[in-house]
Structure 1
Amino acid sequence: MITAFTSFTLPKPITREEARAIFLSTAPKYRDVPGLFQKIYVLSEDGATVGGVYLWNSRAEAEAMYTDSWREFVREKYNTDATVTYFESPVMVDNVAQKILSDG
């Protein structure tokens, strides 16, 4: 499994309510994406940075998402550029499903 962190520093901070509305407007774009297990939207306490934490089946499936088209979508939506950082995620604890998952 792969965890990807995306982040973008906004030109002007936003409130939690503004972020929630924006996130809800983009959330449907991430439904049924091949290889994507979860996406969590994040907002910094000062409202200046937004992004996401994504859990992917593989690096290839993650990279298939973060294309030039996706980067342009982010640029148009938030008026800033995104950064993407990848991490190996060999084990995940899922307390909702009461499972410990491993990619091995």
Structure 2
Amino acid sequence: MIITITAFKLPQPIAAEEARRIYLSTAPTYQGVPGLLRKHYVLSEDGVTAGGVYLWNSRAEAEALYTEAWHAFVADKYGVEPTVIFFDSPVTVDNMAQQIVADEL
């Protein structure tokens, strides 16, 4: 599995209520994305940095999302270009499902 973390420093800080409104407006675009297992929207406590933590089935599926069009969408929505960092995630502990999931070797 792959985890990506996206982050962008906002031109102006936003409150949690505003972030929630924005996030809910974009959340449906991530439903049904091939290979995307989970997305967590994030906002720093000071409201200056926003982004997301994504859990993917594979790197190829993750890379398929982060196109020039996606970068333009984020830049248009938040007024700043996002960064994307990729991490391998060989083991995931899912306490909600009460399971441990490991990549196959």
Shorter-chain TM-score category?
A: over 0.9
How many residues are matched? Answer: 104
Query: Which whole-Å deviations, capped at 9, do the CAs of 1:42-85 have from their partners, x for residues lacking one?
Result: 00010000000000000000000000000000010000000000
CA-CA distance at 1:99 after TM superposition: 0.5
Shift of 1:30: 0.2
The reply to whether residue 101 of structure 1 matches residue 101 of structure 2 is yes
**Structure 1 residue runs without a partner (length 5+):** none
Normalising by structure 2, report the TM-score.
0.98
Match of 2:73 in 1: 73
Residue 66 of structure 2 is aligned to residue 62 of structure 1: no
CA distance in 2 between counterparts of 1:6 and 1:14 reads 17
The residue type paired with residue 29 of structure 1 is: T
CA distance in 1, matches of 2:81, 2:75: 5
In 1, Cα distance between equivalents of 2:19 and 2:58: 28
Runs of 4+ in structure 1 over 2 Å off: none
RMSD over aligned Cα atoms: 0.4
Letter in 1 for 2:44: S
Counterpart residue number, 2:27: 27
Give the whole-Å Cα distance in 1 for the aligned partners of 2:11 and 2:51.
14
TM-score of the superposed pair, with normalisation by structure 1: 0.99
Q: Distance in 1 between matches of 2:30 and 2:10?
A: 21
Question: 2 CA distance for matches of 1:47 and 1:97?
Answer: 31
Summarize deviations over 1:20-57 as a string: whole Å, max 9, x none. Answer: 00000000000000000000000001000000000000
Q: Which runs of 5+ in 2 are unaligned?
A: none
